[in-house]
């Protein structure tokens, strides 16, 4: 099977930390499924020396301007992990880029489209959320689609970062454990949207990737709207 992995058309080069955090779990999971993996990003192949890197076909391309047809050729499933926040053009980067990716995937006769999206907190991240809603609408053309709504932050890697925003794995794991307790879940359930978001348990990037891979392989579909649903798909 052939799978294509898309990522955000960020105007600036991505750090190696981000590449390892977000490419490694998705790509490795797809490889373990026996898939042929094509990864499309503005920066192409990451400069890390791990065996899995050589098993992926790394393509340089911009989801907003490149001809995506050659990248999608032969793909059975596409995972879009596009995510730009605080860019000044969040709606277009999250919306139009995914619209173009979905259209190209459909034209290539891909069966499945997986989108890593976000929960609805428009008051806090208006343009970002509006772009994600456009992306979700673009997936409607696929009978087999999977949308992952992440209600809080995604953590992973070894370091913190402000741009792009990243939380180290060791810290995120402790926060996830704490916010998954009955006490905090009850508090979150009784809170207004903004506070509920802050009290929702985060997810390890490996679990997000695991759920996305499950969608690409056809084992999960529909919308995974919370932490527990994503975990169940990842570990099922």
Q: What is the pLDDT of residues 90-127, one digit of tens each?
A: 999 999 999 999 999 999 999 999 999 987 665 567 89
Is position 57 within any domain?
Answer: yes
Q: Quick: pLDDT tens for 47-73.
A: 777 888 889 888 888 889 999 999 999
Mean predicted confidence (pLDDT) in 37-43: 85
Higher pLDDT, 77 or 81: 77
pLDDT of the residue at 166: 73
pLDDT of the residue at 167: 86
Maximum average pLDDT range among 1-15, 65-79, 145-159: 65-79
Determine which of 37-46, 160-169, 181-190 has the lowest per-residue pLDDT on average. Answer: 160-169
Is position 86 within any domain?
Answer: yes
The beta strand positions in 8-111, using DSSP E, are 36-41, 56-60, 77-81
Is position 68 within any domain?
Answer: yes
| Domain count within the chain | 1
Residue 218's region, left for phi above 0, alpha for psi from -120 to 50, else beta, is left
Is position 164 within any domain?
Answer: no
Radius of gyration, CA atoms only, the chain: 17
Instruction: Give 166's DSSP letter.
Output: B
Residues 139, 77: contact at Cβ < 8 Å? no
Distance CA 3, CA 10 (A): 22
The beta strand positions in the chain, using DSSP E, are 2-7, 36-41, 56-60, 77-81, 112-118, 144-150, 154-155, 203-204, 222-224
Sign of CA dihedral 71, 75, 79, 80: positive
- What residue numbers bound the domain in which 114 lies? 2-153+204-235
**Which helix (DSSP H) or strand (DSSP E) does residue 172 occupy?**
helix 169-179
Is position 64 within any domain?
Answer: yes
Mean predicted confidence (pLDDT) in 158-178: 83
Rounded to the nearest integer, the mean pLDDT of the chain is 83
User: Using CB atoms within 10 A of its CB, is residue 89 exposed (0-12), middle (13-18) or buried (19+)?
Assistant: middle
Maximum average pLDDT range among 115-124, 148-157, 163-172, 223-232: 223-232
Is position 10 within any domain?
Answer: yes
Is position 186 within any domain?
Answer: no
Which CATH number do you get for residue 65?
A: 3.40.50.720
| pTM of the entire predicted model | 0.87
Mean predicted confidence (pLDDT) in 165-193: 91
pLDDT of the residue at 22: 54
């Amino acid at each position: 099977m052939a799978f294509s992995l898309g990522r955000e058309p960020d105007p600036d080069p991505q750090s190696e930390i981000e590449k390892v955090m977000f490419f490694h779990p998705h790509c490795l999971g797809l490889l373990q499924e026996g898939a042929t993996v094509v990864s499309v990003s503005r920066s192409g192949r990451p400069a890390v020396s791990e065996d899995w890197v050589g098993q992926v076909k790394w393509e340089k391309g911009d989801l907003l301007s490149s001809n995506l047809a050659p990248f999608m050729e032969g793909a059975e499933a596409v995972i879009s992990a596009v995510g730009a926040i605080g860019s000044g053009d969040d709606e277009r980067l999250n919306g139009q880029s995914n619209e173009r990716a979905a259209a190209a995937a459909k034209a290539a006769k891909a069966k499945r489209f997986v989108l890593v999206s976000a929960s609805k907190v428009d008051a806090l991240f208006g343009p970002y959320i509006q772009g994600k809603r456009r992306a979700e609408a673009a997936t409607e053309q696929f009978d087999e689609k999977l949308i992952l709504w992440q209600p809080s932050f995604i953590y992973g890697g070894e370091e913190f970062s402000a741009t792009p925003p990243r939380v180290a794995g060791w810290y995120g794991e402790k926060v996830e454990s704490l916010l998954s307790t009955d006490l905090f879940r009850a508090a979150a359930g009784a809170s207004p949207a903004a506070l509920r978001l802050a009290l929702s348990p985060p997810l390890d990037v490996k679990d997000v990737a695991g759920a996305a891979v499950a969608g690409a392989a056809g084992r999960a579909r529909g919308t995974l709207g919370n932490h527990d649903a994503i975990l169940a798909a990842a570990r099922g």
